[in-house]
Amino acid sequence: MAGIKDLKGQGHWPTLLAAFLYFDFSFMVWVILGPLSTEISESLKLAHNFIMTPDQKATLLAIPILAGAILRILLGFLVDKIGPKKTALMAQSIVIAGLFYAYFKGSSITYDELLVVAFLLGFAGASFAVALPQTGQWYPPKLQGIVLGIAGAGNIGVVIDFIFAPKIAELWGWESVFLIGGVLSTIIFIAYCFMAKDAPPEVYTPRPKKLKDYGKLLKDKDTWWFSLFYAVSFGGFVGFAAYMKVYLMNTYQVDMSEFGENVINEQNVKVVAGYFGAFCIFAGAILRPFGGAIADKIGGIKSLYFFYGIVAILAVVTATIEIPFYLAIFVLFLIMASLGMANGAVFQLVPQRFGKDIGIMTGLIGCAGGLGGFALIKTLGWSKGAFDGYTAGFLIFACLVLLAITGISLVKTRWRTTWGAKAGGII
């Protein structure tokens, strides 16, 4: 297994670093509305006497996820047409414009304007389709795992959001979070301009994607199975991550108000919700590589059985049993950890099945993951609005996980006796 020391003298480390920074900060601003949802909701109520329904709040949080999912395919096309660097700079410019627009509008911003900003933030979520190919083009096949792992470590950006955004909002207002995000993104933009380079022809010769390439793969039933598996795992991770603060505030606000001696007002409760949310999200972000490593040892199929099984059981427990606050946090931690590791397990299998088309498949499956996150957020919002609780939402998610487990059972024999028999790895 390749390590950091194996990168010495290989590829182009400034591009690797630039891609990591670009993806990490992009992932951070992609879900920036999640940890600020309560503050923004209160601002709309004070400025416009507009009270967001649970469904409207879910829509606001889900739009960046949906846009990011669809835009991954668009940016994937542009990477081959105009190159990764130009594509990244274009996408970053749009995101920066959205961040500064939200800051300058401030408390006067309307719900409809926020929906537009949410869509623009989707370009940040689509950075997945730019940063990883740009990095991978510079390095030989034997180093793809380590370099894509470094470039793709942006999931940690969600944790940064939940740790710092609520506290910054408490001190200087929610608008200041967008200002800081815009300034930092501008700095990353400038650094990226100077550091990142597209791989020269002698290192990598692109094969531009065509619509028929996507059409061919969409006719393959395994594409749809992998899309289902990733829609459950990554969709579950990013959906819960974006909705985490809303869920904690709606379900455990009283319990959090009793946490620690420093929690003396409602604003501090929001900060504490951010900390607990970060704790749970951190598990899924940091453990993704471990999921891939476990899959390398015992196979992606067995790994997914195990990870999905844990998620299904805990989702049913959360839906049907009124558990104490601290136990609920532990359960959410385990759910997010299992989803994160399932993400790694899915992508242990995908390159073995679609090695020659991994670029296209990353875009297609990544899109499915984003769509899964959008659906989960909307389902949780609907559950809260329709039943004043999240039982229905968690039960529906548990059913989808069980559907994924059933899918694994249906394909495992065929996979192991066909492409899996000559893939070169354990499936």
Question: Is the pLDDT assigned to residue 11 strictly greater than 80?
Answer: no
Q: Is residue 298 part of a domain?
A: yes
Give pTM, 2 decimals.
0.85
Residue 178 shares a structural domain with residue 253: no
Q: What is the DSSP letter of 200?
A: P
CATH number of domain containing 310: 1.20.1250.20
d(CA 286, CA 28): 15
Percent of the chain with pLDDT over 70: 88
Residue 82 shares a structural domain with residue 195: yes
Q: Which residue has the higher pLDDT, 124 or 148?
A: 124
Q: Is residue 215 part of a domain?
A: no
Query: Mean of the per-residue pLDDT values for the chain?
Result: 86
Q: How many domains does the chain have?
A: 2
The predicted pLDDT at position 98 comes to: 96
The predicted pLDDT at position 258 comes to: 62
Residue 107 CB neighbours (<10 A) = 14
Percent of the chain with pLDDT over 90: 44
Residue 150 shares a structural domain with residue 243: no
218-227, 251-260, 275-284: the lowest-pLDDT one: 251-260
Select from 158, 179, 208 the last residue of a domain: 208
Residue 248 shares a structural domain with residue 165: no
Question: Is the pLDDT assigned to residue 9 strictly greater than 70?
Answer: no
Residue 202 shares a structural domain with residue 303: no
Q: Is residue 351 part of a domain?
A: yes
d(CA 20, CA 30): 15
Residue 134 shares a structural domain with residue 241: no
Tokens (6 digits) for 26: 């992009």
24-38, 327-341, 375-389: the lowest-pLDDT one: 24-38
What is the tens place of the pLDDT at every residue in 173-188? 999 999 999 999 999 9
Do residues 423 and 299 make contact, with C-beta atoms less than 8 angstroms apart? no
Q: Is residue 219 part of a domain?
A: no
Q: Is residue 222 part of a domain?
A: no
Do residues 132 and 77 make contact, with C-beta atoms less than 8 angstroms apart? no
The predicted pLDDT at position 23 comes to: 85
d(CA 3, CA 111): 47
Residue 206 CB neighbours (<10 A) = 16
The predicted pLDDT at position 213 comes to: 81
What is the tens place of the pLDDT at every residue in 231-256? 999 999 999 988 998 898 888 877 76
Q: Which residue has the tokens 């949080």?
A: 61
**Crossing angle of helices 128-136 and 84-105, rounded to 10°:** 150
- 1 pLDDT band (50/70/90 cuts)? very low
**Coil/strand/helix, residue 230:** helix
Residue 257 shares a structural domain with residue 187: no
Q: Is residue 64 part of a domain?
A: yes
Residue 184 shares a structural domain with residue 235: no
End-to-end CA distance of the chain: 17
User: Can you tell me the mean pLDDT for 298-319?
Assistant: 95
Residue 294 shares a structural domain with residue 157: no
The predicted pLDDT at position 145 comes to: 55
d(CA 9, CA 7): 6
Residue 184 shares a structural domain with residue 283: no
Q: Is residue 193 part of a domain?
A: yes
Q: Is residue 254 part of a domain?
A: yes
User: Can you tell me the mean pLDDT for 189-199?
Assistant: 91
Question: Is the pLDDT assigned to residue 189 strictly greater than 90?
Answer: yes
User: Can you tell me the mean pLDDT for 316-331?
Assistant: 92
Residue 333 shares a structural domain with residue 271: yes
Residue 186 shares a structural domain with residue 261: no
Give the domain range for residue 233: 229-427
What is the tens place of the pLDDT at every residue in 336-391? 999 989 988 888 888 788 877 776 787 788 889 999 999 999 999 999 999 999 99
d(CA 316, CA 323): 12
